[in-house]
Chains A and B, each alone.
Chain A
Amino acid sequence: MPTAKSSLFNGIWAIFIKDGLCEFRTRYAVSALFMFALISLASISMSIGIVSLPVELTAALLWVILFFCAMAGLSRVFVQEQESGTIVALQIYGSGQAVLFGKLLFNVIVLLSLTLLVIPLFIIFLNVDIYRWPIFIVILIMGDIGIAAASTITAAMVAKSQGKNALFTVLTFPILLPQFLGSISATTKILANIEPNASEIVFMAGYNVVLMIASSILFDYLWYD
């Protein structure tokens, strides 16, 4: 006889493990994301040769690459469930909040893993010097969480609207814009060897929290209505 236990964290963990296992067996999202990043960086590197780009442009390039990598792969968490029909079983057997935060956790881990692969390539291909690693890592983590949070909720909306990927980028970009501009600004300062203001980091963290709370409230309407 199965026994009940605290369900939200178990539900989140179950979704995360399930998505991880399916991704490990198919390698769809990781392959798409990594190939996009590799091709973008290699193309830019070959175009500019040995010329160093201005730090503002370099910082923007990094976040544009990470953003479009996310657009290439992160919508899959909900669109795939919709297309394969498994979303009905998820709706019956899973609580909305567990599904949302399980998918979000998965997207955050995928994007952080991708960033871990992209940053060395970014440094090598674009001939970049990073001066303040600890703060740079914090900015990357904050930016990735923001992209993943915006991508996850818009993926849920797109899957529900049957619009598939056509709407995904259009919906995600405006939601993410404040976080995106903050990430580019803070990264520009890092590349210029200037300490970013603490308020910039606090803003990024705060925006992530607001994004997740808003997602949590919105998602119940998507899931149960």
Chain B
Amino acid sequence: MAMGKNLSVQLLDVRKKIGTRVLFEKLNIVVNPGECLAITGPNGSGKSTLLKIIAGLGQPTTGAVQVWYNGKQLDLEERRACLGLISPEIILYTDLTGSENILFFTRLRGLRCSQDQIEEYCKTVGLAIYKDQLVHTYSTGMRQRLKFALMLAMQPVLWLLDEPSSNLDADGKMLVAQIISNGLAQKATVIIATNEPWEAEYADCKIELV
């Protein structure tokens, strides 16, 4: 997909019920390019579930999530092709090095990414000297940084961030803040599920789950 950034996400009366428990209902909102939606709420309130529904990895019980790109509604395959997801559920290959992971996923998405570009992305997230080490030697914080390097390499139009600064130190949190600011400046559509007040500060609109 061409990466001119003109993508909006629309939630239409979205409701999710698991067993007898209604996680959320009557969610209606539109997130436009360059805007940020924050999804907040206590643990177990359904933040990650809602993010997975927006990513197309799950279905709402009723209602719909529509993703529009240049006036065209995207199907599930097209939606996945234009998003980047940072989540505890995204697990990278521990038998590959950091740079091999980036190379693999960019190739898989049909992008060409040179070793210089990979080095640059790894340097941006502070992994330059570790990029040729196997991921199973990485700490959880380094793995989280690698997910951001992958996000930078993918340059998605839709950013879905689930607790993006989890496991990161103070430097890492500043890095996340910088990356989110840059993404919004480049007109990416950003949706953050978070409990961190400072992450929610980027939001133009908010969904508070209970």
- Chain B residues in 8 Å Cβ range of A95: 77, 81
Total B residues in contact with A, Cβ cutoff 8 Å: 37
Contacts of A91 in B (CB 8 A): 57, 80
Chain A hits for B1, CB < 8 A: 4
| Total CB contacts across the A-B interface at under 8 A | 90
**With known contacts A4-B2, A92-B83, A26–B105 Cβ distance under 8 A:** no
Tell me, yes or no, whether A31 is within 8 Å of chain B by CB: no
Using known A-B contacts A2-B155, A86-B91, A92-B80, determine if residue A7 contacts B109 with beta carbons closer than 8 Å.
yes
A1 to B105, CA, bound (A): 15
Query: A177–B105 Cα gap in the complex (Å)?
Result: 36
Chain A: interface size category: 20 to 34
Complex contact A224–B113 (CB within 8 A) = no
Q: Which residues of A contact B155 (CB under 8 A)?
A: 1-2
For the complex, give the distance between the alpha carbons of A215 and B195 in Å: 42
**Interface membership of A22, Cβ < 8 A:** yes
Does B200 count as interface, using CB distance less than 8 angstroms? no
Bound CA span A88–B58, Å = 11
**How close is B42's CB to chain A, nearest CB, in angstroms?**
24
Q: Interface on chain A toward B: helix, strand, loop, or mixed SS?
A: helix
Tell me, in angstroms, the Cα distance from A95 to B78 when the chains sit together: 9
Binary interface encoding of chain B residues 82-113 relative to chain A, with 1 for a CB under 8 A from any of its CBs, else 0: 01110101111111100010001111111111
- Check: A47 CB closer than 8 A to any chain B CB: no
Q: Does A57 count as interface, using CB distance less than 8 angstroms?
A: no
Q: Say if the beta carbon of A89 comes within 8 Å of chain B.
A: yes
Contact (Cβ within 8 A) A84 B153: no
Chain A residue nearest to B75 (CB atoms) is A224
Tell whether, in the assembled complex, residue A92 and residue B95 are in contact, meaning their CB atoms are under 8 Å apart.
no
Asked whether, in the complex, the Cβ of B89 is within 8 Å of the Cβ of A93, the reply is no
Interface 1/0 per residue, B64-86 and A, CB below 8 Å: 00000000000011001101110
A14 at the interface (CB under 8 A from B): yes
Q: CA separation between A95 and B82, bound complex, in Å? A: 12
Within 8 A of B (CB), among A37-96: 84-86, 88-96
Task: Give bound CA distance, A15 to B93, whole Å.
Answer: 12
Does B43 reach chain A (CB closer than 8 Å)? no
Q: Interface residues, chain A, CB within 8 Å of chain B?
A: 1-8, 10-11, 13-15, 17-18, 21-22, 25-26, 84-86, 88-96, 98, 224
Given A6-B110, A7-B110, A224-B56, 17 other A-B residues pairs in contact with their CB atoms under 8 A? A1-B155, A2-B112, A2-B153, A3-B111, A4-B112, A14-B107, A17-B104, A18-B93, A22-B96, A85-B89, A86-B93, A88-B89, A88-B91, A89-B90, A89-B91, A92-B80, A95-B77
Between-chain CB contacts (< 8 Å), 12 pairs: A4-B1, A4-B2, A4-B3, A11-B109, A14-B107, A17-B104, A18-B104, A25-B95, A89-B92, A94-B108, A95-B81, A96-B77
